[in-house]
Amino acid sequence: MIISGKELSATLKAQMAETVATFPEKYGRVPHLVVILVGNDPGSVSYVTGKVKACEATGIKNTTIRKPETITEDELLALIRELNEDDSVDGILVQLPLPKHISEAKVIETISKEKDVDGFHPLNVAALWQKQPCTVACTPKGIIRLLKAAGVQIAGKRAVVIGRSNIVGLPVAKLLLDENATVTIAHSRTADLASVTHSAEILVVAIGKPRFVTADMVSEGAAVIDVGVNRDPQTGKLCGDVDFEAIEPKASVITPVPGGVGPMTICCLMENTIECFLRRQ
């Protein structure tokens, strides 16, 4: 079964639109997300376009602030501080990656925890690991939603996460653990990776290498979640981290690229923006 993140996110966005439509009467305004886009990287421009469309579909007010590649770190941090102080702004997202002369860590920690819709702020990350209320990073949150919607039972399962980034690998492992899965975190340098992935009843791959996971690495009946967004070196088309065509017949459920995890990330960003708005009321 192919799990469509596109369909699930459309359903969830329609529900959010209904909720947001009640806000003007209740709170006198709708949530407001500000996205800062530095430079013209085509990938980043396309991500930001997706976010704008999702805001429009859910009725969330959105402002995109575009800055040239040449903006200094101090200028960017000053802009973020200004938005932190602006009561009409509920969520702030700075599109990553940033030019090399700007510290992503400094940018992330300058966004106030309360407006950090990405869930990247160290205080949100710490709160997640301490089981305190927090904003959960969008991709990990979307993955758990997808698994549940597909009817995959997580509790008691052996889950393997390939990838250990702060943005996906580590938080998704933590969320699976909180759902009572037994979790192994592997990576591109794991010795005999196939012997580890064979044990996976749930396999999450977030490594950023086209078709890194081959059919011989996956056991019959596994639920396979592909977080990769890569360009196929041969065809130039979008492809995931798993060899979809070869693995789909073996998997109980699998996410396609595009149309799997990606739309869920943006959907959860809308949800996080609404949550930040409601916490500030």
Annotated catalytic sites, by residue? 51, 95, 118
Give the nearer residue to ligand GUN in terms of CB position, either 92 or 185. Answer: 92
93 binds ligand GUN (CB under 6 A): yes
- Which part of the chain contacts ligand GUN (CB under 6 A), choosing from 22-30, 55-63, 77-85, 89-97? 89-97
What are the C-alpha distances in Å from 203 to residues 66, 158, 183? 37, 9, 10
- The two tokens of residue 260 are 């799997």
Q: What would the DSSP string read from start to end of 206-261?
A: -S--TT-B-GGGS-TT-EEEE---EE-TTT--EE-SB-HHHHTTT-SEE--TTTSH
> Minimal distance in Å, beta carbon 178 to ligand GUN?
21
Q: How many residues bind ligand GUN (CB under 6 A)?
A: 8
Alpha carbons 265 and 207: distance in angstroms, whole number: 16
> Minimal distance in Å, beta carbon 51 to ligand GUN?
9
Give the nearer residue to ligand GUN in terms of CB position, either 193 or 238. Answer: 238
Residues 38-67: x/- map of binding to ligand GUN (CB under 6 A)? ---------x--------------------
Q: Which of 62, 95, 110, 135 binds ligand GUN (CB under 6 A)?
A: 95
Q: Which residues of 40-72 are buried (b: 16+ CB within 10 A; e: fewer)?
A: ebeebeebbeebbebbebbbbbbebeeeeeebe
Residues 109-148: x/- map of binding to ligand GUN (CB under 6 A)? ---------x-------------------x----------
Alpha carbons 189 and 212: distance in angstroms, whole number: 12
Alpha carbons 117 and 134: distance in angstroms, whole number: 10
Give the nearer residue to ligand GUN in terms of CB position, either 5 or 181. Answer: 5
Q: Which residues bind ligand GUN (CB under 6 A)?
A: 47, 93-96, 118, 138, 265
